[in-house]
Every structure is written in structure tokens, then in C-alpha cells.
Structure 1
Amino acid sequence: MNPTIVETVNVVREVAWLPWAVQYFFLIGLSYGAFLVSLPGIVWRRPGWIGISRVALLAALLCGLTAPVALLADLHQPGRFYHFYLYFTPSSWMSWGAFFIPIYLGGLVLYAWLAFRPLLAQQAADDVLTPRLARLCRLMAYGGFESRGALLAAAALAFVGASLVAVYTGMEVMVVRARPLWDTPFLPVQFVVTALAGGIGLTLILQRFAGQPASSDDTKRLSRALAITQGLALLIGAVWLLLGLTGLSPSHAQALAQVAPSASWRLTAVWAAGSTALTLWLALRRPGSGWLIGLLALHSAWMMRWTIFIGGQEVPKTGAGFYQYQLPLGYDGLLGIVGTFGLWIALFIALTTLLPVDRLTAKSA
């Protein structure tokens, strides 16, 4: 019998991080980005920011409550989450994240409750709800008093948690040295910048759900802040490209060499840079177009994470060519994305039934 030699040239592997992971990183980024937008009006009480910050806090709460569901789904067996607590691994950023997420969400929920207590009491007193919902509002308001000291303490706790979440979500991707596209210190920074842009964009969109048109001053304030994030995103991308082209950083040069031959990656790069530049131009020259620039900001935040996670896994660690990923229609693909958005919509309906957006956008303190 003649021996048979089997030579393995390349092995096609399925993506390990599914769209569930993209949704989690997208939603948790929007949450802490919107939380930062809530600080000027609620914590610092800057004139003109009260309505903006309340809507931003609603956005932070909605995304913060939805994000863990996507994270649990990405574990493939949700019961695995308790392993992070039973078998803590100090060398794993994902293990640290299991402790950082409750800090942020606990601080965020407490901060939101303290900030919205007076509004809940007003909503119950205005006799605009059914008796049952009015009783629920009064119960949740718990007297409706403004507790300034407790509010500041909760905001500080949420800020610490948001900072920890921002660090760990960037670092757990950056530490994968086997993928040069991920192995860059610019990645965590770009995550934060696009998360803040997405939080601003979502705030702009939610303002449109108020009974009256959003104030042009509010839209201009958010547009100016959004323009800064888009400028930073373009700057970070330009520096990354420069390091890759000049070879000053071997990892950046290797990452660029891997994706440069691909026409789809070149198209993605042009699309990302073009949409970011368009958002920057609109935010500066057409600051009143809140709907459009808000949607573009959300698009940029989602596209950046989809490209990094899914597109990054299409680049093989060994071998030539690229893996091909097609979005499945089932729960681990399109249906999962739609389902997560459906949960977000359900939470939005529930929260705005008790606290309508038009009450949040009111200019009174």
C-alpha cells in the first residue's frame, strides 16, 4: 500500500465572534457615549444643556439595558456568565469586564433614577396617565425630591464604570496580537471616539420624537460636538495609515499589507473615510439637519465595529486569501440583530410611556 500524503494549505475557519458581539460593542458604546453627553446638563447644569442631557440619559439607559442581552447571547449558552465570577482570571480583560459592566450599569440606573425622580412626580401629578400608571410613577418617584448629593455620587460611580467599560472593550480586542489589524493602540481610542459620536447621533434622533421640533440651539450644540468627534476619527485613521505606509510601526505595516490587496477592503476604507468626512461637513455647514447627521453618526459607529470584528476575522492568521462571511438569516445573524433592536424598541416604549420625550426636552430645570 502506497502512503498517502495530505498537505493542508489553508483551513477555513468560522468566525468566533458573531454579530451578537458587534451588537454588544455597539450598544454599550452608545450607552457610555450618551452618558457622557448627559453630564453637562444634569451634573454641571450648563445653560442650554438640560433637555439635551435628559434625552441623552434616556439613550444611555436604553442601550445600557439592551447591551447585556446581546453579550449573553454571544456566549452561546447564557448560563456560562457565572463562570466569569467563579473562575476569575486576572490576565483576561474579558474576565475583568464581567465586574466592570455591573459597576457601570448599577451606577447608570441609580443616576438615571435620581435624575428622573422629579419628572416622574410631575408626570403623576399632571393627571395625564391612567390611574394605574400614575400610581406606578408616584411609586418610582419615591417622593420626587431632588437629591443633589446622591445624584453627584451616582454620576461619579457611573463615570468610573463607563471609563472601565471603555478601557476593557478596547483592550480585549487590542491584545489579540495574532491579528495585526487589531493589534494597535489606536483601536481603543477609535472605539471611544465613535461611541461618543454614536451617543450624540442617537440623542439627535431621539429629540425628534418630542411633541415639538427640537430647538435649533440644541441641534447646533450637538452638531458642534459631533463635528469634533468626526475630526478626531479622521485624524486617528490618517495616523494609522501613515504608520502603515511608512513602515514606522511593523504591526501597522503588516496590517496594511494584509488588507491593501483586497478591493472590498479598499472600498470599505473609502466608504468609512467618506461618510465620516460627510458627517463632519454637514455638522459644520448644515448643523440643523439633525436626523441626517444623527443617522450618519450611528452608521459610522456600527460600521467601525462590524468592520473590525467581522471583517477582521475574515483575514486569515495563516495562509493566503480571505475567508468569506455571509450574514445568516437565523438567530445568530439577521434575526438576532432584528430581535435586539426589537428589545430596544420595547424598552423605549415602556420608558417613554412613563416619561415622554417632550417632558425630557422641557427647558425647566
Structure 2
Amino acid sequence: MEPSARPDDGRLIDRYGRVATDLRVSLTDRCNLRCSYCMPPEGLPWLPSPDVLTDDEVIRLIRVAVRLLGVREVRFTGGEPLLRPGLTRIVAEAAALRPRPVLSLTTNGIGLDRLAPGLREAGLDRVNVSLDTLDGERFARLAHRRRLPDVLAGLAGAAAAGLTPVKINAVLLRGVNDDEAPALLRFALDHGYELRFIEQMPLDAQQSWDRAQMVTAAEILAALQAEFDLQPDPVERGAAPAETWLVGGVTGVQGPARVGVIGTITRPFCGDCDRARLTADGQVRDCLFARHESDLRGALRSGADDDELARRWRVAMWGKRAGHGIDDPSFLQPTRPMSAIGG
């Protein structure tokens, strides 16, 4: 179908019948870590401040998404969203919307122990914290910063503030931390966190991703099954990116213990994707791996009303491709790295 055949539907639908109800909002491209699968040790040129949406602009676009486009979940990402000075206000304004969206945050956890109570009071529902290793030396090798104690403190602070379930996102790199899957799961179970392993994706600024070197979902599961009894989760997955398993034979854990694997590369879930993305500089991305963006910032700053912004957003999402195309020989990585896209 051509874009002109789009039905009269106010939601963020695409030509394959998918409806985007989960909005990922990047609040900054800046980060206080330098994870090797994301950016080089020296960092990257950050977006010029005038290009970044103001707090009021972010709030307005979230309002358009929720009130006019049917978005039901909003996740704040980065870069590192805790570096955004107006984060608490943005969360509070989003929580005041009706219908109220579910609000979450993806963070590296640095400073979260200090900020978690205020974010919870503002209306944040839960957090995902990135943690790839439990070894301080490996953490320094991966992130080029010695901040593991701060991340662990952030996890504990989030749980204490009630930002639950606290989820951990872990990426395994071959020859670096690929032996830590069982230890990470044991740590998560001991602390009541929910662990999600994510296959390394071609989103690094260096564009050095190599599929042959990627630790696959099958390898991760095999490592876990060598030490844990895993059974398929009977709960319907829906549009969730993670396949989850129940962890049996675990003592001292209240309720069913689960672990998830997000196999973006080897087990793609594009057919059920319900996500849209808004970058820190006001661009709509219909896919994490898209090479095309649609500008909302220009229209916003040129005086477009909410209905016009919504119309442009619908048009942008209508053109979403059937899948990310990583297996296609013509696939090219996005020109922007993950830190500038938002997870």
C-alpha cells in the first residue's frame, strides 16, 4: 500500500497494521559512561544545546502523543536521562496527563540512589538499569569509568523508593563478560531484580559491530540452563521485546522468578513492535535501526498546533518498514549511535 492509502485512524498505525502505543523519549545524548558497545572512550560530539528540545517542548510532544495519538506508555531514555536537569518536572507533567501513561526510565543507575525518591514522588513507575558485569575491573574495561559501586547503589535506591519491578539490562560481549550470565542471574534473584539479557546490536558509534562476535540468545540461554532450571513463561508475551522463562528451584525468592532474553538480532520481534521513538532533538524514528527521521522540532518551533504535530507524527509512523532488515545484505547501520537515538 502507498502512504496515501492510510485509513482514517487517529492512532500511530503503520501499513502492516501495527499500532505504536509505547513511546521512547530520549532526553539527552550525553552520558557519563563510555560503554564500548555504544561509543569510543573519548566520547562523542554532543548535540548543540539549541538543537535539544526544551522541557516545555518535550512535555508538549508527550501530551500530543498521549491525548491525540493513543500512546499508553512513555519510557525516558538517553544518553543518560538522569543528566537531564528537568527530568523530575517532565515526569510529573507526564504523570498528570489523562489518560495517565505508564512511565519508566532506562538509566545506567549513576545517581539514581539520590534521585529515585523524587522521581517516584513525581510519578515514575519503574526503572531499567544497565549492568553488564559484577566485576569492578571488567566494568572499568567495558565502561571506561570505575563506577560499579554507584550503579549498584542506584539499583538498591530504586528498589527502596518503590520503582518496582527494578529491571536490569545486560549486554554480553565475547571474550569480555560472556561467562557472567549465571552470576548476573544469581545476583538479580538474590536482590529481587528482574534480569534481561540483550543481544549486542549494531548501534555503536564506531560501527565495529560484528555479528560473528555477538553472543547470541541461544548461547545465553545455554549458559543459564547449565546452572538453572528454566521453563517457558506461560504469561503471554504480547508486544514485549523479551522472551521470558521461569527460573525453577530457587529458594528464598518470593513469587515466580523470571529471566528474559531480548534477541533483537537472532529472534527478531518486528511483527509485534509497538514502539515509536522521539530523539532529544525532536526527530521521530519509526524503528531503532531506521536511517530516516521525521522532524517535529521544526514544525513545533514554527508555530504548528497540536493537531498538525499529530498529523505529521501519524504520517511518519505510517512509513515504518516490516522489519529492521539486519539480515539483508544491503543493511547499513544507522548514522546515529544508540546514545543519540534512545533505547
Task: Mark yes or no: TM-score above 0.5.
Answer: no
RCO greater where, 1 or 2, for CA within 8 Å and sep 6 or more? Answer: 1
The structure that is strand-richer by fraction is 2
TM-score normalized by the length of structure 2: 0.29
If each structure's helix is expressed as a fraction of its own residues, which one has the higher value?
1
Greater gyration radius: 1
Give TM-score, length-normalised by structure 1.
Answer: 0.28
